[in-house]
Amino acid sequence: MRYPKEHKDQTRRRVVEVASARFRREGLDGVGVASLMSEAGLTHGGFYSHFPSKEALIEEVFASGMEENFQRLAEASEQGGIEGFVGRYLRPGNREHPERSCPAGALGSEIHRHSRKAREAFARKLERTVAKLRELLPASRKDRAEAIFAVLVGTIQLARAVPDLAQSDQILESGKAAALALATEPNQKEVSPQTPSNPSSNETPPTPPGTSNPVLE
C-alpha cells in the first residue's frame, strides 16, 4: 500500500520528534532504532524508508528538531532580557528533564564522536542560540555571548552530574551569577587607559652629567 507524500512527511517528523527527546534524555548512543520506532508507533524496518542510517537521523534531529527549547528561551528573553534567558536555561526543570532542554547541555559532550555533518548541524544550532544571546547584550559581542553560553552549558551539565540536590541547586545559582556577571561586565576595549599624570611643576628636572644645577648651589 502506497501512502501519500503528506503521510510520509508526517511520519518522518514524528520519528524526528521522538528521537530529539530520546537522544537528549538517554544520549545519542543510548537509543536503538528498534525502540525508537516502537515508541513512534512504527516498525523497525520502516525506519529505512525515511533515513539511510541512524547517523542520518542524528543529523536531521540537529538540523530541524529540538526547536521547542529555543522558542522557550526566546520567549523568556522577550519578557525578561538576559536575566530571563539565563533563568530559563538554568531552571531546575531543565536539569531534571533533559529531553526538553538545550541540545548543547544534553549532548555537547557526545557530538564530537559523530559525523562531520551531524557536528555541522549542531554548530548551526549553537550559532543560532549565541546570536540570540548577542541581541541581549549591551555591546552585542560574539565572544562575550559565547563565553556566557559556555558557562550555561557547563553549569547545567555539572548540576545534573552531582547526586546531592542541595549541591546541584547551588551550582545552578552560582552559574546564574557568573553568567549575569559576564553579561554586565564592562567591555575592556571600551575602557580608556589612564593617562599618566604630568610631573609636578615644582619637580627639579634631571641635570645632564658634567653640569652643575644652579638650583642646588
Which cell numbers hold the place of 93? 526543570
pLDDT grade for 45, boundaries at 50, 70 and 90: confident
pTM: 0.79
* Structure confidence by residue, pLDDT tens digits, 122-178: 999 899 999 999 999 988 899 999 999 999 999 999 999 999 999 999 999 999 999
* pLDDT in the model for residue 147: 97
d(C-alpha 158, C-alpha 80), whole Å: 25
Which superfamily is assigned to 67-185 in CATH?
Answer: Tetracycline Repressor, domain 2 (1.10.357.10)
* pLDDT in the model for residue 211: 54
Residue 2 vs residue 82, higher pLDDT:
82
Residue whose entry in the numeric block shows the C-alpha cell 610631573: 199
Which cell numbers hold the place of 186? 564592562
Please state, for a pLDDT cut of 90, what percent of the chain lies above it: 67
Which cell numbers hold the place of 12? 518522518
| CB contact set of 114 (below 8 Å; sequence gap of 6+) | 28, 55, 58
Four-point Cα dihedral 160, 162, 167, 169, nearest 10: 10
Mean pLDDT of the chain: 86
What ranges do the domains of the chain cover? 5-64, 67-185
Sign of CA dihedral 72, 78, 82, 84: negative
H or E stretch including 182?
helix 165-184
* pLDDT in the model for residue 201: 47
Residue 100 vs residue 163, higher pLDDT:
163
- Report the alpha-carbon angle 121-67-100, nearest 5: 110
* Structure confidence by residue, pLDDT tens digits, 175-213: 999 999 999 887 655 444 455 555 444 555 555 555 555
* pLDDT in the model for residue 153: 96
* Structure confidence by residue, pLDDT tens digits, 114-129: 999 999 999 998 999 9
d(C-alpha 34, C-alpha 43), whole Å: 8
Residue pair 73/89 in contact (Cβ under 8 Å)? The answer is yes
Q: Work out the number of other CB atoms within 10 angstroms of the CB of residue 38.
A: 13
Pick the CATH number of 5-64 from 1.10.10.10, 1.10.10.60, 3.30.2290.10, 1.10.443.10: 1.10.10.60
pLDDT greater than 90 at residue 58: yes
